[in-house]
Structure formats: C-alpha cells, structure tokens
Chains A and B, each alone.
Chain A
Amino acid sequence: MPIALTFFWGFLFSIGVAVSGMTQPTKVVGFLNFLGDWDPSLVLVMGGAVTTYFILSRFTLKRDKPITGEKFQLPTRVDIDGRLIAGAALFGIGWGMGGYCPGPALASLVTLDTNIMIFVLSMSMGMYVYGTLDSRFTSEPDGGAGALEPPVIAIRQGI
C-alpha cells in the first residue's frame, strides 16, 4: 500500500506540474527572461506550492512519525558551502537554457518528443556520472535524499 501511495504522489505532482504550465518550456523561459514578453505564471506556481507546503508541513511535522514510513527523514544541514552554490548555479543555467527542470522533464517523457528524450537522457547521464564520482570520492552509501540515515543526511544533504 505505501508503494501505491507513493505512485499517487508522483501522479498528483505530475498533474500539478502540467496544469501549472511547467511542462511548457516557453512558460518557464518566458518567466526567467523578464526582459522579453514576461509571463509571471511561475510566481503563482511557486507561490501556490510553497504556501501549501509551508502550512500543511507544519501540521504534518507535529506528528511523532509519518503515517506509513518509520520516521521523518529531513535534511538538517544549515551550512552554505561551495557545492550548494556551484550546483544551484549550474542547475539554473541549464534550466534557463532548456526550460526544463527534472520533474516536468520526466513527466513529459511520455510525449516521446525527441528534444525531451535527449534532455532526460543528458540529465540522467549528468546525475549518474556525478553520483558515481561522488560516491567514489566520499564513500558514502548513497547520494539520494531520503535514503540516508539522519546523521548522514546531516553531513551530506542540504535540501
């Protein structure tokens, strides 16, 4: 049952991303390039998502533990390091160039559009190569958010 629910959250996320317009790179680029014909839609996407999460996560985190999971697995790191800045900077450049971030790109894969397939393949390669090199140098068990024990999250994760 927990797996079916996780599938549902992915499904709902994807519907939200498509309804909001974020699966259309024209809207993302139209927001980021505010010197052009500006499309402020992304402000409302982020505003709606952040406000919903801000309010409901407060109530959620008052619980001792999640409903089906064993415990809340939240990043606890607060330091601002070079990797965070450099990673976010590179991510932003790619986002501004192609108009896709990972969620909308994966949701759009079903269109079998050549550009989208090339984007997802390139993004996956970037993630995989970085993950492989990272685990080789740091010998941590995993780089993925949520998979780590809290002390490891405290060391490695930032979100």
Chain B
Amino acid sequence: MENFTPVASLIGGVLIGLAAVGMLLFDGRIGGVSGIFGGFLNAKHGDTAWRAAFIGGLMAGGLVMLMLKPDTMTFGIDRSVLSVVVAGILVGIGARLGSGCTSGHGVCGIGRLAPRSLVASAVFMSTGAAAAIVVGEVFGGKI
C-alpha cells in the first residue's frame, strides 16, 4: 500500500462531490460526465452550450493541474494502442448503454441512494476488478 494517498484522495473526493452538488443546486442537473458529454456528442435541440461549458471547465481544470502538479496527470501504465482503443470503446458504449459512469451512478446516484445506480456501481466495480486482476495477474500488467 505504498501508493496510498488518503488525504489527497479524500480532499479530491469532497471537491468532486461539491462540484456535483453545484450542478444540482444551480442547474438542477445530475453531474454525470458521460451523460453530459454523450449528450454533447449526440446533441439536438440546441442544448449544447451548458454541456460544452462543463466539458470546457473539465479541460481547464486539467490544464491548471498539469501546470501545478504534472505528475498527477500521467498515463503511467503499459498498454498497447489496441488495448487503449478497446478500453475506450467499452467505456463509451458501456456508459451510454448503462445510463451513467463513475460520476453519474457512482457519485450522484449512490449519493441519492438510487437503486439503479447502486446496482450499476456494484456491477462496474466487479467487472472492473475482474478486468484489472486479469490484466495485472495473468498478463503481468501489460496488454
């Protein structure tokens, strides 16, 4: 457990929670990144502006952190291009098919004790653990 960062992770988690509550308190919306971004990609009826603003904020935050603490923004795992493509496609399709990701289901959904989100989070934690274990223990961390 030499990589354990309890204080930073707890503070970061509270900030994520505050941002998601901010979306609810001001906009009345769920702060789920896959819902916001997916709706931006398949945009209709001109509701793209607020989605673009949220995504722009995400990227601006990333830029600030890249300047202040670049070591927090590194890929750092050994992956082939093919495995990155497959992982990206699975995350994209899965988040839309399952109506949410770690923020929409994991933070907002569990935070509202929504039954669908509790189930979805249990499922993606389980399959995520299974995938990470297979990659780490069977393939030696390289795919």
Chain A residues packing against B (C-beta within 8 Å): 2-27, 29-30, 32-42, 44-54, 56-57, 60-61, 63, 65-75, 77-80, 83-103, 105-111, 113, 115-116, 118-132, 134-135, 141-147, 156-159
Q: What's the Cα separation between A158 and B88 when bound, in Å? A: 22
Contact B115 A125 (CB under 8 A): no
A159 contacts B21, CB within 8 Å? no
Q: Which B residues from 79 to 125 make CB contacts under 8 A with A?
A: 79, 81, 83-117, 119-121, 123-125
Among residues of B, the one whose C-beta sits closest to the C-beta of A63 is B25
| CB–CB B39/A143 < 8 A | yes
B-side contacts of A75, CB under 8 Å? 30, 99, 114, 116
Compute the total of residue contacts between A and B using a CB distance below 8 Å: 566
Which 3 pairs between the two chains have the least Cβ-Cβ distance? A144-B39, A87-B98, A10-B57
Is the Cβ of A20 less than 8 Å from the Cβ of B36? no
> CB-CB < 8 A to A18: which residues of B?
12, 61-62, 65, 69, 72-73
CA distance A25 to B34 in the complex (A): 18
* B interface residue numbers (CB < 8 A to A): 1-6, 8-45, 47, 49-51, 53-66, 69, 72-77, 79, 81, 83-117, 119-121, 123-133, 135-137, 143
Closest to A61 in B: B24
29 contacts between A and B (CB under 8 A): A14-B59, A14-B60, A18-B69, A20-B13, A32-B131, A33-B137, A35-B136, A48-B13, A49-B106, A50-B13, A54-B112, A57-B21, A66-B24, A67-B25, A84-B98, A87-B93, A90-B98, A91-B91, A93-B127, A99-B132, A102-B103, A118-B81, A118-B88, A128-B92, A131-B42, A144-B36, A144-B38, A144-B51, A145-B35
Classify the secondary structure of B's interface with A: helix
Query: Is there contact, CB below 8 Å, between A49 and B107?
Result: yes
Please state if A110 and B96 are interface contacts (CB–CB under 8 Å).
Answer: no
B85 touches A80 (CB 8 A): no
Contact B31 A130 (CB under 8 A): no
B143: chain A residues within 8 A (beta carbon): 97
Asked if B98 and A29 make an inter-chain contact with CB atoms under 8 angstroms apart, the answer reads no
CA distance A110 to B61 in the complex (A): 9
> Quick check: B116 and A79 within 8 Å, CB to CB?
yes
CB distance from A147 to the nearest CB of B (A): 5
Task: Give every chain A residue within 8 A of B60 (Cβ-Cβ).
Answer: 7, 10-11, 14
A92 touches B137 (CB 8 A): no
* A117 shortest CB reach to chain B, Å: 9
Q: Judge whether A109 and B22 touch: CB under 8 Å.
A: no
Question: With a CB–CB cut-off of 8 A, which chain B residues contact A96?
Answer: 127-133, 135
List chain A residues, Cβ under 8 A from B56: 7, 10
Closest chain B residue, CB of each to CB of A117: B84
CB-contact partner of A100 in B44, B91, B126, under 8 A: B91
